[in-house]
Amino acid sequence: MRIRAQVAMVMNLDKCIGCHTCSVTCKQTWTNREGTEYVWFNNVETKPGIGYPKHYEDQDRWKGGWILDRKGRLTLRSGGRAKRLSRIFANPDLPSIDDYYEPATFDKDLLVSAPAGLTDTPVKRPRSALTGEPMAITWGANWEDSLGGQSGQDDPSLARMATKVKLEFEKTFMFHLPRICEHCLNPACVSACPSGAMYKRAEDGIVLVDQDRCRGWRMCVSACPYKKVYVNHATGKAEKCTLCFPRIEAGLPTICAETCVGRLRYLGIVLYDEDAVLAAASVPDPQDLLDAQRAVFLDPRDPGVERAARDAGMPDEWIEAAKLSPIRKLISEYRIALPLHPEYRTLPMVWYVPPLSPVLDAAGAAGRDDADADDVFHTIRDLRIPVEYLAELFTAGDTEAVAGVLMKLAAMRSYMRSRTLDGTVAQDLLDRIGMTAEQVEAMYRLLAVAKYDERYVIPAAHAKDAAALDAQAAGHDGCALDCEGGPGMSDPFHLSARP
């Protein structure tokens, strides 16, 4: 057993209002420079929808992630080393700028410098940020935000569902899905990189790009099934979400989590067995991948695990942070967080609590009591369309796993409502979801009213590792803040101020 620590994130989708504050602050911090006009390390998608870039979930087209070969061995969907090298100069599985969007700018100076006496009112017209030529804006990173799911018929996840579901999807609901790099335990981008520029940090599991080694082969873009690796067209090199590692090293949350209006993001440390990753990613049935990945995670309160972690040189601060981690609670203890597309077999480390609000709305619309657990449970079972869709996103189609999570969330709301109004304890309700009153109340506190230091449990870089971290940053120029073509902003991470 080889114990590793991983910085991970969980997002509670019930709280996301689609304000895009996370996207804007990430954009201003990391990709506000030439060559990254179209790049969004963090974006918020409206589901059902085709996403950004368009149809990124269609792996038959993009060849991202991993598959099992005829012998049951894990292999990249994009092919083995020989196949990738044979087309290293002409990779056909790359999104074009049309699949992302052509970024636009506006000649705002025209509005203030136009001469007086014009018969027509001056208008700022869109121009391409890439070519400077006039253009028509037809798509964007959050284009579907205003469509209310009306492009959902082209959603790859929806296309895999039954005909009845596809015809009646407009009767379900829409919700917002924030996305960043998954910082996977089994990252396909790292394995596909011919030059070894993509790497996963041993101390915290963050996946980064060494700009000195990157040669712009773009195999990482094809291999990433989430399409969260981009090419800087000014430098010709790959860039991606860094999980704001300078902030993480200082014990601060990522900029997207720090500025999240809905307080829906949770950050923390999980311990896992590196030796178990390959077996977990190789289970034959995709619907078994959720339990297989959960089994990779270790309990930091187990004396044997704690002793092994110390023997491996893990700092005590990291072990204590793992014990208090909200990520472990949501994923392994309460079991209400789910990974995005586990069937890609990358073992992603950004998980989601699925949205419950549409289920409660449907219960009321059906004339049922949305405060009654039995009525809500029946609605969850009967409301096959959204549960099936959520299952396509988070459990490789396993509707029972999603329904179980929604039932826990519904039971929590019903229990806390009764507990607050008249002080009663619905023991039968607790028995049905297999949780104790203490667990339900702790889950409610974490999801609803958790304080800053409860949502973000991040140990600062250990003092003895500080020199090594500085040396590593110096050796990987693309990760430094002051490199040529880098963000280069003055204290963009606000390391001098902790809320």
Name the residue ranges covered by the structural domains of the chain. 1-101+139-164+176-284+292-353+472-483, 354-450
pLDDT band at 292 (very low <50, low <70, confident <90, very high): very high
More confident residue, 265 or 490: 265
pLDDT, mean of residues 411-433: 84
Angstrom CA distances, 438 to 149, 395, 407, 426, stand at 38, 27, 17, 13
- Residue 164, judged by CB atoms within 10 A of its CB (0-12, 13-18, 19+), counts as exposed
Given this model, what pLDDT does residue 493 score?
A: 45
More confident residue, 424 or 303: 303
Given this model, what pLDDT does residue 31 score?
A: 94
Distance CA 249, CA 247 (A): 5
pLDDT, mean of residues 390-410: 91
pLDDT, mean of residues 339-368: 81
Contact between residue 200 and residue 414 where contact means Cβ atoms under 8 Å apart: no
Strand, helix or coil for residue 29: helix
Q: Please give the share of the chain, as a percent, with pLDDT higher than 90.
A: 58
Given this model, what pLDDT does residue 432 score?
A: 85
Element containing residue 439 per DSSP (H, E): helix 437-444
Q: Which of 307, 282, 303, 315 is nearest to 204 (CA)?
A: 315
pLDDT, mean of residues 473-489: 51
Q: What share of the chain is helix, strand, coil (3-state, %, to 5)?
A: 40, 15, 45
Q: Which of 243, 171, 337, 211 is nearest to 6 (CA)?
A: 243
Distance CA 473, CA 210 (A): 9
pLDDT, mean of residues 384-389: 69
Given this model, what pLDDT does residue 58 score?
A: 93
pLDDT band at 125 (very low <50, low <70, confident <90, very high): confident
* CATH architecture for residues 354-450: Orthogonal Bundle (1.10)
Given this model, what pLDDT does residue 239 score?
A: 96
Contact between residue 403 and residue 380 where contact means Cβ atoms under 8 Å apart: yes
- Residue 423, judged by CB atoms within 10 A of its CB (0-12, 13-18, 19+), counts as exposed
Angstrom CA distances, 62 to 21, 74, 181, 346, stand at 29, 18, 17, 15
Q: Which of 258, 245, 251 is nearest to 315 (CA)?
A: 251
Q: Residue 467 pLDDT more than 70?
A: no
CA contacts within 13 A on the Cβ side of 417: 11
470 CA to centre of own chain: 27
More confident residue, 324 or 431: 324
pLDDT, mean of residues 247-261: 94
Bridge pairing between strands 74-76 and 66-68? antiparallel
Given this model, what pLDDT does residue 492 score?
A: 46
Q: Write the pLDDT tens digit of every residue in 221-234.
A: 999 999 999 999 99
Mean pLDDT over the full length of the chain:
85
More confident residue, 92 or 378: 92
pLDDT band at 489 (very low <50, low <70, confident <90, very high): very low
pLDDT, mean of residues 50-77: 93
DSSP notation for 337-348: -EES-GGG-S--
Q: Please give the share of the chain, as a percent, with pLDDT higher than 70.
A: 82
Given this model, what pLDDT does residue 159 score?
A: 67
Buried-exposed string 234-256: b where 16+ CB fall within 10 A, e elsewhere: ebebbbbbbbbbbbbbbbbbbbb
Strand partners, 47: 175
Bridge pairing between strands 3-12 and 350-353? parallel
pLDDT, mean of residues 56-76: 94
Tokens representing 493 are: 């991470």
Bridge pairing between strands 198-200 and 207-209? antiparallel
* Residues whose CB falls within 8 Å of the CB of residue 346, separated by 6 or more in sequence, listed in order: 65, 66, 182, 184, 185, 186, 187, 188, 225, 281
218 CA to centre of own chain: 21
Q: Which of 233, 146, 213, 223 is nearest to 181 (CA)?
A: 223
Pick the CATH number of 1-101+139-164+176-284+292-353+472-483 from 3.40.190.150, 3.30.70.20, 3.90.480.20, 3.30.390.50: 3.30.70.20
Buried-exposed string 353-390: b where 16+ CB fall within 10 A, e elsewhere: bbbbebbbebbeeeebebbebebbbebbeebbbbbbbb
Q: Residue 266 pLDDT more than 90?
A: yes
Within a 10 A sphere around the Cβ of 181, how many other Cβ atoms?
23
Contact between residue 266 and residue 327 where contact means Cβ atoms under 8 Å apart: yes
Distance CA 375, CA 388 (A): 19
Distance CA 438, CA 223 (A): 43
pLDDT, mean of residues 79-96: 83
Contact between residue 215 and residue 231 where contact means Cβ atoms under 8 Å apart: no
